[in-house]
Structure 1
Amino acid sequence: MKKLFFLLLSLVGVQTFAQFKSKEPFAHTFSIVARDPVTGEIAVGVQSHWFSVGTSVSWAEAGVGAVATQSFTNKSFGIRGLKLLKEGKTAQQALDILLSDDPGIDVRQVAIVDNKGNVAVHTGKGCVQFAGDIKGEQYSVQSNMMLTDKVPTAMSKAFEASKGKPLAQRVMSALNAAQAVGGDIRGKQSAAILVVPAKSNNEPWNERTVDLRVDDAQEPLLELERLLKVHEAYQFMNEGDLAVEKNDMPKAMSLYGAAMKMFPDNLEMQYWTAVTLANNKEVSKALPMFKKIFSQNTDWKEMTKRLPAVKLLTVTDEEMKLILAQ
């Protein structure tokens, strides 16, 4: 770490470095901000050789926009940038205001996308090479302290080649492409993806479509991709639950089936699917599932005994005996 500090001293100057190293996070990295032109969803994705990069670099708000603030990170740019967008400023106007009185402008790297798809990006002349950015249609990719100068181009190509896929998957493709051409010269440690809806319903506690972080791992992108797959599977389960509430069992079972196909060894997905079948008078279909689950973990049988009391399992006494006999 000391060697890295001395390197920075020579690159950005003793006075500049001393001014920023003590009070601002040190997140050299590659990232992407983007808006889906079809759904209107907005995203930011990032990876770095720095602990918990997602808590410093990535900021987004439903119906407003997204900000990536990196290199010598100014966290306030996230909150202040989103506030400016909310006030009606474009991405470029917001960025200009943020940088207008910033004494660390030369060591900043910042990208913003607003809810209309306007994009603005700044790479300071004091950012550690290789540093650069590319603006595309409703997205921007940016990186600094990279092993090679190929990262922005690789990210841009991967993002554009994935048109038609869900935004989170497109962001994941861009991050993987960056790593494939070398990524951060220091290696890998943490990564994050944040996706927010096109519009706000004034429910900020419920307005993050995807919010995943890997704070410390040898292969953060592999773990982030695994978590994204788990997230997508549980989304199928959630949508299946909603279908049950609307008494649309064919749709519910289709969604549950899609989730279990993604994670065939996940006992909880299988369990609640079996419970749903039993509650909908299809106990005969549920019994083989309960048998398989109970054979692998008897705690699920104990759980089953507790469900009728809270009306999560609404079967007859005879049906309950059949289930517990599995």
Structure 2
Amino acid sequence: MRKALFTGCLVIFSIAALAQYNRENPLVHTYSIVAMDTATGDIGVAVQSHWFSVGTVVAWAESGVGAVATQSFSNPAFGPQGLQLMKTGLDAEATLQALLASDEGREYRQVGVIDVSGKTASHTGAKNIKEAGHVVGDYYAVQANLMENNTVWQAMADSFEGSAGEPLAERMLKALEAAQTEGGDIRGKQSAALVVVSGTPTGKSWIDRKVDLRVDDHENPLQELRRLWKVHQAYEYMNAGDVAVEAGDFERAGELYQSAETMFPNNLEMQYWHAINLANVGNLKEALPMFKSVFSKNPKWKKLTPRLIDNGMLSVSEGDLKQIMKQ
């Protein structure tokens, strides 16, 4: 007989119920959202739970295909299987029904699905632990179980609908925060995840997976997830600045580096590369005090600087380099 996996809470089940679970179907009582940005076509999934590393079990997404959130007595196979079914041309509802039809534990499952066209479907099995429910709306579905209150999933839906026009990751994160404000998981909180993929694939996974953030174990996972989301946005500016440097557009690079630094004014990495770019465009007067500030806080940046001459990342005269190294 297969055994149930009990972690974090004690629940007593009948022998018949025990027969439906194994160690591949962990308890993940939680709340989640699958959604689409109609302006960009981006697809995403976000989740929070009182469970370790919830993102590795619940959140599944693939560019040009869709997203799946599989939770409650989670069947992790629903993630890759759901994506594969959508690849064959099934829409969200047909995919969900196919997953449930093949699973004897369907009444213990909770699942949300969105396909590449933005169609959504959700399922809350009759044997989910209360409070449990879901809302299927235009281009999103939210689902929650083992909640403090039965108003959680509607609060998530209201939040998502009320944040139209903002980036998809921001909207989904706000939906999670709305759930927590409404009471959230009755047991508390531990981990969270946020994933966004492009609606139209480029064939380059490092481009198509636009956001992939996880907080595996934290006393305030949503606060940490929001911090990481802010860091992610800042480094998007840094990455775009690097691309501008490669293209020789140092003026644009400076603007992008400045945007990143504005978000994190105490980040030495951002200050340093901003100073390097200023030096490259001949604005040594503004760059020198920035170099001085960075070098005083971490001398290893000073040690690094001459090495950038050989590969062209720092393009200054010998005299200018000497001025920089005096800082």
Match of 1:5 in 2: 10
* 1:182 matches 2:187: no
Deviation string for 1:108-149 (max 9, x for gaps)?
101100111100111100111000000111000000011110
Partner amino acid, structure 2, of 1:125: A
Q: CA deviation at 1:215?
A: 0.1
Check 1:84–1:2 CA distance in 2 against 1; reply closer, same or farther (3 A cut): closer
Alignment of 1:219-234 (within 5 A): 219-234=220-235
**How many correspondences in the alignment?**
322
Match of 1:276 in 2: 277
For residue 4 of structure 1, give the secondary structure of its aligned residue in structure 2.
coil
For residue 307 of structure 1, give the secondary structure of its aligned residue in structure 2.
helix
Match of 1:53 in 2: 54
For residue 233 of structure 2, give the secondary structure of its aligned residue in structure 1.
helix
For residue 20 of structure 2, give the secondary structure of its aligned residue in structure 1.
helix
Check 1:38–1:2 CA distance in 2 against 1; reply closer, same or farther (3 A cut): closer
For residue 168 of structure 1, give the secondary structure of its aligned residue in structure 2.
helix
Q: CA deviation at 1:316?
A: 1.6
Contact 2:253 2:277 (8 Å CA) reproduced: no
For residue 294 of structure 2, give the secondary structure of its aligned residue in structure 1.
helix
Alignment of 1:39-118 (within 5 A): 39-118=40-119
Partner amino acid, structure 1, of 2:31: F
Q: CA deviation at 1:202?
A: 1.4
Match of 1:191 in 2: 192
Range that drifts further, 312-321 or 154-163: 312-321
Match of 2:295 in 1: 294
Q: CA separation in 2, counterparts of 1:6 and 1:240?
A: 53
Partner amino acid, structure 2, of 1:6: V
Determine what percentage of the aligned residue pairs are the same residue: 51
Q: CA deviation at 1:21?
A: 4.7
Match of 2:304 in 1: 303
Deviation string for 1:52-111 (max 9, x for gaps)?
000000000011100000011111111011111111110011111111121110101011
Q: CA deviation at 1:176?
A: 0.2
In structure 2, runs of 5+ residues without a counterpart are 1-5
Q: CA separation in 2, counterparts of 1:125 and 1:198?
A: 33
Q: CA separation in 2, counterparts of 1:31 and 1:51?
A: 15
Q: CA separation in 2, counterparts of 1:14 and 1:184?
A: 27
CA RMSD of aligned residues (A): 1.5
Match of 2:260 in 1: 259
Deviation string for 1:269-312 (max 9, x for gaps)?
01011111222222222111101111111111111132223332
Match of 2:3 in 1: none
Question: Comparing both structures, which one devotes a greater share of its residues to helix?
Answer: 1
For residue 5 of structure 1, give the secondary structure of its aligned residue in structure 2.
coil
Q: CA separation in 2, counterparts of 1:298 and 1:77?
A: 51
Partner amino acid, structure 2, of 1:127: N
| Runs of 4+ that moved beyond 6 A | none
Partner amino acid, structure 2, of 1:83: Q
Alignment of 1:229-240 (within 5 A): 229-240=230-241
Q: CA separation in 2, counterparts of 1:310 and 1:14?
A: 68
